[in-house]
Amino acid sequence: MAEYNPRLAVYPGTFDPLTRGHMSLIYRGLKVFENVVLAIAASTPKKTCFSLEERVEMARETFADEPRILVECFDGLLIDYVQGRGAGSILRGLRAVSDFEYEFQMALMNRRLSREVQTVFLMTDYNWMYLSSTIVKEVALHGGNVKGLVSEPVLAKLLEKHEALKAAR
C-alpha cells in the first residue's frame, strides 16, 4: 500500500486559463496543507484555448516565487495520479450551489476508488465567485479588459491569442 502524505494536496483542473479565483484557492490551500500540486489535466472534454504546454508554462511563471506550489500535468484518472503522487487530499473549490452537485459526485467516485484519499472543499473567496476560465477567455478573446482577473503571464498569453485571432479575420 502506498504511503500517503496528509500534508500534500492535489488541486486538479484544466486551468484554461488559470484565474485569480484559482490562485486564491491555492494560496488558501497552503494555509491547510504544506504543499499544493497544481495538476493540469492533459485530457479534457472541454475545448481548450491553450495547449497543455502553454497552460503549464503560464502556471509555472505565475507561481515561480512560491516553492510550496508545484505545477505538473497528468493524464488519465485523477485518483491514479493522486495515489501515485502520494497525496492525501484532493483540493476543490466551490463557487455556488451549482458547483456542488458535480463536485459531490466526483468526490464520491474518488472515495469509492480510494478510501485513503480525502476530498477537501474550500469555498471560493467572495471576490471571485463570478469568475470562471470560460468567462475570462470569452471577454479576453473579444478584446475586453481582464487585467486583475488573471496573473501577468496569463494576461500576456491572452493578449497574444486575441491579436492572433484579429489577424486571422
- What are the domain boundaries of the chain? 5-129
Do residues 131 and 96 touch, judged by C-beta distance below 8 A? no
Q: What is the pLDDT of residues 104-160, one digit of tens each?
A: 999 999 999 999 999 999 999 999 999 999 999 999 989 999 999 999 999 999 999
* Residue of 8, 16, 6 lying closest to 42 (CA atoms): 16
Q: What is the pLDDT of residues 31-76, one digit of tens each?
A: 999 999 999 999 888 889 999 999 999 999 999 999 999 999 999 9
Residues 41 and 122: their CA atoms lie apart, in Å, by 20
Q: Which CATH number fits domain 5-129: 3.40.50.620, 3.30.830.10, 3.40.190.80, 3.40.50.720?
A: 3.40.50.620
Residues that are catalytic: 22, 46, 95, 133
